[in-house]
Structure formats: structure tokens, C-alpha cells
């Protein structure tokens, strides 16, 4: 546009084009700088042939929809009720409260609203979580014909009692490692191949004759990644043969992700529990458990119980230093059910 003989119109047009190009260049540079500063991440598939045996087999938790074995009710009364509270209204209240724990899961606290009309102080000495655990199904009562990778096992050798937000259930490959696997370097277990006979097979016995009147027929199954406390379960009706198909994934994070703070990226890395990110405002996890998104969510729920009722239902969470809810605290949970049920 500075060449001699160029018309004013051409010079003006060239100047406008230069200015527009310069503005676009500046905008693009600012956009790239902003994108870099935000630390946007991408998920890529690195390997579609990753060895399956390096992926931990998930934890499988099985719960009878009727959580309690009512054939132990009389024994529970003898074990937990004072002699002066037998054969009177206190024994009837005890039975009614136990009935509220059947088919009980986290967030269904509204069922305790009916207890406000009773004198709960008189039975406040009873730990009803302990009662529910006493009446919960044992693995030998509901499981039979257990196989792992086509090998026959005694069910109680590979399943253990496990508390979760479904109550007391039985679990395979549990995050709550059983005593006999404390020194097992292969725990949690893995499988080296796919297919029908490469995983877990088990038969569940419902024992309807030992259910509470009007109980629901079926089981609830929760499948989670090892170290995860709770995730959305699935219901399976009784009298069915069900096959659950699983896909194995292995996720990892590049070290470069840590150059962006957790507040900016909106998440924590799996190593958060042993590195500096545990000082982050985003860091929460259940007592004694590794950081996982699901564990963070469960811890938030537990903290809401503490916030509104100053106690937590230990039936749904791992052992912790938080105060445990007593019988007189249950109506409070009902009152704030909508706030604690995240």
C-alpha cells in the first residue's frame, strides 16, 4: 500500500485488511493464552489392548431387599432388651423400630417421623445399628454355589459382611479387605480374560419365610470400582437368572495435569490423598479411605447429617470418629430428610 502509484482507495482497502488481520491475530493469541491458562484437559484412548489382568475386578455387593432375618427377632429381644422391658409396650416399640430398619437405605429417613409420638428415651440405651447387624443376613444364609473364574469356593471364603448406604450386605472383592487377605498382594483380585466363565457366579437364596410381612421379593446389587464406598445400585427381581456384563477400563492422569490448581480444573487427581491436594477446599473423603469422587460425595452426605442432627448413622458409613445417632436422634433425621438426601 506504500508503493508509488497506488490509488487512495487501494491504500485504504489495504489498510483496513491489515488492521483486521492484526486484530484477528491478537484475538487468536488471547484465546490461546486463555485456553492454556485454563488448563483444559482432553481424554484420549491410549491403548485398546491393555492387559485385562492389570485392571482390578470390581467389588460386587449383594443385598437382600429385605435386609433382616426375622427368625432372629426373639433372640434379639433377649440380647438387647432389659428384662423389665419385655412383654410390654417397650417390647412392641422395639419390634416396630426394627421394622423400620428393614428395606432401609440412605435418604429414607422420613420413615422415622412416626417415632415422635413415642417415649424414645426409655430405649435410648439400645444401639439399633448393632441390632440391625445382628439380624442382618449371614453369607451362608443367602449365598450358595459360588464360583470365581470357574473355580468353586465356599461363599463365606470370598464374601464378607460389608456396610454401605444400603445397610449391612455381603460383598466380594470388598474395599473393606477381610482379615485373611491382609497380606495378599493380589488383592483385590483380577481376572485375566473375558467371557462367561471369567468372572463371578453366585446363587442367592431369598428365604421368604424369614422375611417381614409384606416384604419385597428380590435383591439389590452394587458394582463399584475397588476403593469406592458407594455408587448407584441396581435391583434384580427374584426367581430370575441374571448375567451382568462388565467392561474393563484403566484411567491414568499425566503429571502435567497438576500444573493447574484443583480449584481451576474442578477436580482432584487420584493421588490427592497422599499429595499436597488434601489441603484443597475440594478435598473430601471418607475416614480411612482413599480419595474418590464417590467417596467425596458420601463424605458430604455424612457431613450434612452432622450439620443438621449432630450425629451420623454408622450403619451407612465406615467407622469414624463422628458421634453416632441414637434412637432419640432418629426423628431429627426425618425432619431434615430433604436436606441430607443429596
Most confident residue range from 94-98, 185-189, 225-229, 274-278? 94-98
Of the listed ranges 81-90, 112-121, 172-181, 295-304, the one predicted with least confidence: 172-181
Q: How far apart are CA 217 and CA 239, in angstroms?
A: 9
Which pLDDT value is given to residue 341? Answer: 63
Beta bridge partners of 234: 221
Check pLDDT > 70 for residue 316: yes
Is there a contact between 294 and 224 (Cβ–Cβ < 8 Å)?
yes
Looking at residue 273, its pLDDT comes to 46
The mean per-residue pLDDT over the stretch 267-295 comes to: 70
Q: Which has the closest alpha carbon to 270: 245, 256, 253?
A: 253
**pLDDT for the residue 5:** 59
Q: Which of 18, 29, 179, 165 is nearest to 104 (CA)?
A: 165
Of 286, 335, 320, the C-alpha closest to 129 is 320
Q: Give the pLDDT mean for 86-112.
A: 91
Average pLDDT over residues 14-40: 79
Q: What are phi and psi of 217, to 5 degrees?
A: -85, 125
- Report whether pLDDT(6) > 70: no
Q: Is the pLDDT of residue 163 over 70?
A: yes
CA pair distance 279, 273, nearest whole angstrom:
9
Reading the block at residue 119, the C-alpha cell is 417415649
Q: 10 Å Cβ neighbour count for 67?
A: 24
Whether residue 161 contacts residue 175, with contact meaning beta carbons closer than 8 Å, is answered with: no
d(CA 141, CA 120): 32
Question: C-alpha cell of 227?
Answer: 476403593
Is residue 180 scored above 50 in pLDDT? yes
**Number of Cβ within a 10 Å radius of residue 284:** 19
**14, pLDDT greater than 70:** yes
Residue 266 backbone zone (phi > 0: left; psi -120 to 50: alpha; other: beta): left
pLDDT of residue 215: 64
Bridge partners (DSSP) of residue 224 are 59
Instruction: Give the highest mean pLDDT range of 48-52, 174-178, 183-187, 264-268.
Output: 48-52
The mean of the pLDDT values for the chain is 83
165-176 mean pLDDT: 87
Q: What residues contact 325, with CB distance under 8 A and at least 6 apart?
A: 305, 309, 311, 312, 313, 314, 333
pLDDT band at 94 (very low <50, low <70, confident <90, very high): very high
Report pLDDT for 274: 47
Lowest mean pLDDT, pick from 84-98, 248-262, 266-280, 282-296: 266-280
For the chain, the straight-line distance linking the first and the last C-alpha, in angstroms and rounded, comes to 66
- Angle among Cα 169, 127, 305 to the nearest 5 degrees reads 75
Amino acid at each position: 500500500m506504500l508503493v508509488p502509484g497506488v490509488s487512495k482507495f487501494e491504500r485504504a482497502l489495504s489498510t483496513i485488511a491489515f488492521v483486521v488481520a492484526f486484530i484477528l491475530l491478537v484475538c487468536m493469541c488471547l484465546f490461546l493464552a486463555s485456553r492454556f491458562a485454563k488448563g483444559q484437559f482432553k481424554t484420549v484412548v491410549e491403548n485398546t489392548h491393555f492387559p485385562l489382568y492389570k485392571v482390578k475386578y470390581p467389588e460386587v455387593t449383594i443385598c437382600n431387599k429385605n435386609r433382616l432375618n426375622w427368625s432372629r427377632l426373639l433372640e434379639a429381644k433377649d440380647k438387647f432388651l432389659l428384662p423389665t422391658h419385655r412383654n410390654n409396650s417397650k417390647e412392641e416399640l422395639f419390634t416396630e423400630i426394627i421394622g423400620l430398619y428393614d428395606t432401609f437405605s440412605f435418604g429414607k429417613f422420613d420413615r422415622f417421623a412416626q417415632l415422635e409420638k413415642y417415649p424414645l428415651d426409655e430405649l435410648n440405651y439400645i444401639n439399633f445399628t448393632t441390632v440391625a447387624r445382628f439380624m442382618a443376613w449371614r453369607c451362608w444364609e443367602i449365598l450358595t454355589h459360588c464360583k470365581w473364574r470357574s473355580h468353586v469356593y465356599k461363599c463365606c471364603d470370598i464374601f464378607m459382611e460389608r456396610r454401605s448406604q444400603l445397610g449391612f450386605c455381603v460383598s466380594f472383592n470388598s474395599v473393606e479387605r477381610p482379615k485373611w487377605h491382609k497380606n495378599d498382594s493380589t488383592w483385590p483380585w483380577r481376572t485375566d480374560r473375558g467371557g462367561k466363565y471369567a468372572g463371578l457366579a453366585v446363587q442367592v437364596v431369598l428365604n421368604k419365610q424369614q422375611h417381614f410381612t409384606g416384604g419385597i421379593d428380590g435383591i439389590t446389587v452394587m458394582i463399584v470400582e475397588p476403593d469406592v464406598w458407594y455408587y448407584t445400585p441396581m435391583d434384580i427381581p427374584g426367581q430370575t437368572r441374571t448375567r451382568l456384563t462388565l467392561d474393563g477400563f484403566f484411567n491414568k492422569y499425566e503429571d502435567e495435569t497438576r500444573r493447574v490448581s484443583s480449584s481451576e480444573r474442578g477436580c482432584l487427581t487420584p493421588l490427592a490423598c497422599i499429595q499436597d491436594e488434601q489441603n484443597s477446599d475440594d478435598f473430601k473423603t471418607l475416614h480411612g479411605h482413599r480419595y474418590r469422587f464417590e467417596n467425596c460425595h458420601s463424605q458430604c452426605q455424612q457431613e450434612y447429617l452432622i450439620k443438621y442432627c449432630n450425629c451420623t448413622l454408622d450403619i451407612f458409613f465406615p467407622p469414624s470418629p463422628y458421634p453416632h445417632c441414637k434412637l432419640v436422634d432418629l426423628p431429627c433425621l426425618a425432619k431434615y430428610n430433604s436436606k441430607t438426601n443429596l
